[in-house]
Amino acid sequence: MNCPRCDHDAIETIATSPVKGAWEVYQCETCFYSWRSTETPHVDDVFKLNDEKIANLQVIPAVPPLEA
């Protein structure tokens, strides 16, 4: 199985249905995209990632603590 967003094959199962075999949730270990086994994931080309785009992604800054 390959990630629908970045096409890497490092996929892990992060959740399973309490009803055995009903569904699973997968997550890409490269770009962190996640999807459920019961859906057909579709990512528009404008949102596709490749190794170059992943390497140049901005880091989201931490949210500062609330002021008292």
Domain-located, residue 58: no
Domain-located, residue 55: no
Asked if pLDDT for residue 23 goes beyond 90, the answer is yes
Contact 21, 9 (CB under 8 A): no
Phi, psi of 52 (to 5 degrees): -65, -45
Q: Please give the share of the chain, as a percent, with pLDDT higher than 70.
A: 100
Predicted confidence (pLDDT) per residue in 38-67, tens digit = 999 889 999 999 999 999 988 888 899 998
Domain-located, residue 62: no
Q: Is the alpha carbon torsion for 23, 11, 41, 32 positive or negative?
A: positive
pLDDT of residue 68: 81
pTM for the structure as a whole: 0.78
Domain-located, residue 1: no
Domain-located, residue 59: no
Domain-located, residue 36: yes
Domain enclosing residue 43, as ranges:
11-50
Domain-located, residue 28: yes
Number of domains in the chain: 1
Asked if pLDDT for residue 1 goes beyond 90, the answer is yes
